[in-house]
Chain A
């Protein structure tokens, strides 16, 4: 023993960080497959690139900080960040922008603050927002779902697009890209069209945009898997979705022709992904139960506010980052009553 005293418990500890992260990755897979099905190989290429860059950047950062790289890389958190980032960005994103995104997300947002557990901001979202603000054009070149596309891109075409930055053959960007449903809704509303008119277009499915709403469903499945495995708890997803639904429903009831039906918000953009995978990031969200409900609900409300009156069509990333700032304060003021203190005892 020679002087090293280790305290109890002396048991098998079943929980492990890498197992938690692996379950998150598993839960993302159905949604990723749906994305690839609807939007082509660009998503897959971005995933591979982002994962590769994330691991490289983290290894480099750890070497600079003189820490053993393998121990930290083994916890798979860099992979999760990379995957969330790759899902959030358009499938046409140039490879060097993915690299920049990863450098900012892993190198600056995570490692510069001290590594896993010390970052105040969600790294994937911070990387996404960094690119969105700096390269708005490249970050809004979305592809249409394959049933709406005039020209679908095959694997080689997607690869060429990502690595060289130019569309295939003689096609211009306009020929292959299309606005997302959220973007479309926003521009149409700004032109004072009525919801009924807008919804008449072929772009729309039952709830949200065609293709997009099914992606949302598959991510929902993954999220329910995480709930069942108790990797995440229900407080943040439920409060976020409820918060969004309630405020969207309120405004829709006031004027159904200028505000879309609440389910539209649920199934468009990154709402479901954000509810189950992004806002629930343990490092950057609240830890107390009451705090988590306030945190989730505020994100939901902010998403609606930014989408309706803000400057960007999709708001999940911004809403999450804004609430990341508030998380420690919310935690401080929502501490649970300790056993033996306060009203429960004499």
Chain B
């Protein structure tokens, strides 16, 4: 029985400007079926494998964890939880090297596996998700720690909630996998097409989308067939089409795929939901199906190990946190001279300094490239303004102009030429006859621009605080001056006050409350002394004195009497 999708007219396709044909090298890794990577002895799980805030650990060193147990809670809205990929003991929570072009470290939870791979108690499957509140389903997706597995790693539950003002009409499933060497999505489509379509079905329901378009490049005929069969057996077959798109890099870019399948261009700086479209990678959909229908969190993914620097390149199902060194061993080890170790594809990936970094949720491919696959491009020559870069740019930018301004560090002008519309696909650098590292110039310009914006915000805040401090100091200075002025005025208003006082200084009340208080205290003491003297009790400290003490007292008395006799007028002091 032939289903309508397997024969008949292909849906109309559009094209985007530019793009290049690169040798796809998929055959290197699709020759063998997907294998489960051996359980590593140590799992290093970074707390931040997604866009947003790092998760907060909820386990301590020494805790015993089970497979699928949550070990870190999301911090804030844009964040996802982290789960243990296997059972074992938490060895340490500290900074470890992470897969990042900077080769920096970040906080990770390190688990020593106990080899038992015991599952934790999982939440129950939501088979009846169609009758549940969509928020509950989204909460399950968030609980499972699902992020975009195509490489961007944005928390999926947030992407699935664009809000009531942005209704989504079309769900696009990204099975294009346009970058050379990478075949993990291809193998996933061949082996788990059912899961992918079930995930798509869940999303169609969540978003109330009207149609689903699955874009797959035409160099994956087995995957296309598998997906077609899965769609034919699913409950969304009426609204779903599997579309074969011509193989062209970078058709798998979100905006480019949307353009190919629907003809719409996503406006700049805006999410596709703005035009009613949502795009998800096939691996993300499979993970969603597992989370909702089996209660399993995201703890593993397919990873392609490829390149002629490996003896046995193939795809693996890998636990999150597995060291790349283990995977290289599982792929037969390194063969011959390996020039580069790359995480990601050859067009957009970054080089790794060492193989001791772990696989994260966003890692889809590890390449060991030989000298002939990735030769040294040589020193960059001068730009001859040939314009080939602009011919191939899928975003229709002018890479040449952006290069000139980025080179002279004039970041404002680079932004005028729409720097942030660049998707860093690498087509321009690939065709440049002068071998200029164009993508690096744009990445430098972007990160430098962001850093400058951060510094500007900090500088504005510092200026505001500084001006506030100056204002406060000026205000205090002003108050002090006012107080002095008031005091001076008050003093000059009563010129004779205070001079008429006698030696005992008793009766004249002065302006100064302190002086008045001292006066009152003296009076009290004098009165008490007089009262005691009437009772015949003298001061206690003038009896029973030693001769030296008596001499000291006499000397002091003499000293006291002398100035008192000398000064004829006292002003009530002392």
* Cross-chain contact B266 with A340 (CB below 8 angstroms): yes
User: Is B300 an interface position by the 8 A CB rule?
Assistant: no
* Cross-chain contact B418 with A338 (CB below 8 angstroms): yes
Q: Mark A4-34, 1 if CB is under 8 A from B, else 0.
A: 0111111111011101100000000000000
Q: Mark B113-137, 1 if CB is under 8 A from A, else 0.
A: 0000000000000000000000000
* Cross-chain contact A8 with B349 (CB below 8 angstroms): yes
* Cross-chain contact B439 with A337 (CB below 8 angstroms): no
Which residue among A9, A335, A336, A338 has the maximum number of chain B CB atoms within 10 Å of its CB?
A: A9
User: Is B268 an interface position by the 8 A CB rule?
Assistant: yes
Measured between beta carbons, the chain B residues less than 8 angstroms from A71 are: 379, 381
* Cross-chain contact B439 with A336 (CB below 8 angstroms): no
Q: Which of B40-48, B230-238, B387-395, B549-557 contacts A (4 or more CB under 8 A)?
A: B387-395
User: Is B487 an interface position by the 8 A CB rule?
Assistant: no
Q: Mark B337-365, 1 if CB is under 8 A from A, else 0.
A: 00010101011111101000000000000
User: Is B448 an interface position by the 8 A CB rule?
Assistant: no
Q: A6-B440, A117-B382, A283-B384 are in contact. Are A15 and B431 (CB under 8 A)?
A: yes
User: Is A345 an interface position by the 8 A CB rule?
Assistant: yes
Of the candidates B101, B268, B373, B434, the one whose C-beta lies within 8 Å of that of A17 is B434
Q: Mark B170-181, 1 if CB is under 8 A from A, else 0.
A: 000000000010
User: Is B369 an interface position by the 8 A CB rule?
Assistant: yes
* Cross-chain contact A17 with B395 (CB below 8 angstroms): no
Measured between beta carbons, the chain A residues less than 8 angstroms from B426 are: 8-9
User: Is B4 an interface position by the 8 A CB rule?
Assistant: no
Write the chain B residue with the least CB distance to A285.
B385
Of the candidates A13, A337, A340, A341, the one whose C-beta lies within 8 Å of that of B435 is A13
Q: Mark A89-126, 1 if CB is under 8 A from B, else 0.
A: 00000000000000000000000000111100000000
User: Is A282 an interface position by the 8 A CB rule?
Assistant: yes
CA distance A10 to B274 in the complex (A): 35
* Cross-chain contact A9 with B434 (CB below 8 angstroms): no
* Cross-chain contact B348 with A8 (CB below 8 angstroms): yes
* Cross-chain contact A345 with B266 (CB below 8 angstroms): yes
Q: Which of B156-164, B396-404, B478-486 contacts A (4 or more CB under 8 A)?
A: B396-404
Measured between beta carbons, the chain B residues less than 8 angstroms from A6 are: 351, 437, 440
CA distance A117 to B432 in the complex (A): 13
Write the chain A residue with the least CB distance to B347.
A9
* Cross-chain contact B351 with A10 (CB below 8 angstroms): yes
Measured between beta carbons, the chain B residues less than 8 angstroms from A8 are: 342, 344, 346-350, 424, 426, 429, 439
Which residues, 40 to 92 on A, are CB-close (under 8 Å) to B? 71, 75, 77
CA distance A335 to B421 in the complex (A): 15
CA distance A16 to B435 in the complex (A): 7
Which residue among B103, B268, B274 has the maximum number of chain A CB atoms within 10 Å of its CB?
A: B268
Which residue among A1, A10, A71, A346 has the maximum number of chain B CB atoms within 10 Å of its CB?
A: A10
Q: Mark B247-285, 1 if CB is under 8 A from A, else 0.
A: 000000001000100001111101000110000000000
Which residue among B344, B349, B430, B437 has the maximum number of chain A CB atoms within 10 Å of its CB?
A: B430
* Cross-chain contact A10 with B432 (CB below 8 angstroms): no
User: Closest approach, in angstroms, between the C-beta of A158 and any C-beta of chain B?
Assistant: 35
User: Closest approach, in angstroms, between the C-beta of B73 and any C-beta of chain A?
Assistant: 34
Write the chain A residue with the least CB distance to B395.
A339
Of the candidates A10, A116, A117, A345, the one whose C-beta lies within 8 Å of that of B267 is A345
Measured between beta carbons, the chain B residues less than 8 angstroms from A340 are: 255, 265-268, 270, 395, 421
Measured between beta carbons, the chain A residues less than 8 angstroms from B270 are: 340
* Cross-chain contact A336 with B398 (CB below 8 angstroms): yes
Q: A1-B353, A11-B346, A13-B432 are in contact. Are A338 and B387 (CB under 8 A)?
A: no
* Cross-chain contact A338 with B268 (CB below 8 angstroms): yes
* Cross-chain contact B421 with A338 (CB below 8 angstroms): yes
Q: A5-B101, A338-B421 are in contact. Are A282 and B387 (CB under 8 A)?
A: yes
User: Is A257 an interface position by the 8 A CB rule?
Assistant: no
Measured between beta carbons, the chain B residues less than 8 angstroms from A152 are: none
* Cross-chain contact A338 with B397 (CB below 8 angstroms): yes
Q: A7-B440, A8-B349 are in contact. Are A341 and B398 (CB under 8 A)?
A: no
Measured between beta carbons, the chain B residues less than 8 angstroms from A1 are: 103, 351, 353
User: Closest approach, in angstroms, between the C-beta of B314 and any C-beta of chain A?
Assistant: 20
User: Closest approach, in angstroms, between the C-beta of A324 and any C-beta of chain B?
Assistant: 12
CA distance A118 to B348 in the complex (A): 30
Interface size range on A against B? 35 or more
Q: A9-B439, A287-B390 are in contact. Are A15 and B433 (CB under 8 A)?
A: yes
User: Closest approach, in angstroms, between the C-beta of A279 and any C-beta of chain B?
Assistant: 14
User: Is A288 an interface position by the 8 A CB rule?
Assistant: yes
User: Is B443 an interface position by the 8 A CB rule?
Assistant: yes
CA distance A116 to B384 in the complex (A): 7
User: Is A311 an interface position by the 8 A CB rule?
Assistant: no
User: Is A172 an interface position by the 8 A CB rule?
Assistant: no
Measured between beta carbons, the chain B residues less than 8 angstroms from A15 are: 388, 431-433
* Cross-chain contact B396 with A12 (CB below 8 angstroms): no
Of the candidates B265, B348, B435, the one whose C-beta lies within 8 Å of that of A339 is B265
Measured between beta carbons, the chain A residues less than 8 angstroms from B434 are: 17, 117
User: Is B16 an interface position by the 8 A CB rule?
Assistant: yes
Write the chain A residue with the least CB distance to B442.
A7
User: Is B458 an interface position by the 8 A CB rule?
Assistant: no
User: Is B34 an interface position by the 8 A CB rule?
Assistant: no
Measured between beta carbons, the chain A residues less than 8 angstroms from B433 are: 15-17, 19-20
Measured between beta carbons, the chain A residues less than 8 angstroms from B564 are: none
User: Is B39 an interface position by the 8 A CB rule?
Assistant: no
User: Is B17 an interface position by the 8 A CB rule?
Assistant: yes
Measured between beta carbons, the chain A residues less than 8 angstroms from B180 are: 11
Q: A288-B398, A338-B396 are in contact. Are A116 and B268 (CB under 8 A)?
A: no
Measured between beta carbons, the chain A residues less than 8 angstroms from B373 are: 11-12
Write the chain A residue with the least CB distance to B348.
A8
Measured between beta carbons, the chain A residues less than 8 angstroms from B430 are: 9, 11, 13
* Cross-chain contact A7 with B437 (CB below 8 angstroms): yes
User: Is B91 an interface position by the 8 A CB rule?
Assistant: no
Q: Mark B395-423, 1 if CB is under 8 A from A, else 0.
A: 11110100000000000000000100100
CA distance A282 to B373 in the complex (A): 29
CA distance A189 to B229 in the complex (A): 79
Measured between beta carbons, the chain A residues less than 8 angstroms from B396 are: 336-339
* Cross-chain contact A344 with B265 (CB below 8 angstroms): yes
Measured between beta carbons, the chain B residues less than 8 angstroms from A338 are: 268, 395-397, 418, 421
CA distance A75 to B383 in the complex (A): 12
* Cross-chain contact B437 with A287 (CB below 8 angstroms): no
User: Closest approach, in angstroms, between the C-beta of A97 and any C-beta of chain B?
Assistant: 28
Q: A8-B439, A340-B421 are in contact. Are A117 and B383 (CB under 8 A)?
A: yes
* Cross-chain contact B390 with A11 (CB below 8 angstroms): no
User: Closest approach, in angstroms, between the C-beta of A116 and any C-beta of chain B?
Assistant: 5
CA distance A10 to B25 in the complex (A): 14
Of the candidates A115, A118, A282, A346, the one whose C-beta lies within 8 Å of that of B275 is A346
CA distance A296 to B373 in the complex (A): 40
Which residue among A5, A13, A15, A71 has the maximum number of chain B CB atoms within 10 Å of its CB?
A: A13
* Cross-chain contact A11 with B347 (CB below 8 angstroms): yes
* Cross-chain contact A283 with B385 (CB below 8 angstroms): yes
| CB-CB nearest 6 A-B residue pairs | A7-B440, A117-B382, A287-B387, A9-B426, A340-B268, A15-B433
Known: A9-B348, A338-B268. 8 other contacts (CB 8 A): A5-B101, A11-B374, A16-B433, A288-B398, A336-B396, A340-B255, A340-B270, A345-B267
Residues in chain B within 8 A of chain A (CB atoms): 16-17, 22, 101-103, 180, 255, 259, 264-268, 270, 274-275, 340, 342, 344, 346-351, 353, 367, 369, 372-375, 377, 379, 381-388, 390, 394-398, 400, 418, 421, 424, 426, 429-435, 437, 439-440, 443
Residues in chain A within 8 A of chain B (CB atoms): 1, 5-13, 15-17, 19-20, 71, 75, 77, 115-118, 282-283, 287-288, 335-341, 344-346
What are 29 residue pairs bridging A and B, where the CB atoms are less than 8 Å apart in the complex?
A6-B351, A7-B429, A7-B440, A7-B443, A8-B347, A8-B349, A9-B346, A9-B439, A10-B340, A13-B377, A13-B430, A16-B433, A20-B384, A20-B386, A20-B433, A71-B381, A117-B383, A288-B398, A336-B398, A337-B396, A338-B395, A338-B396, A338-B421, A339-B259, A339-B395, A339-B421, A340-B266, A340-B267, A340-B395
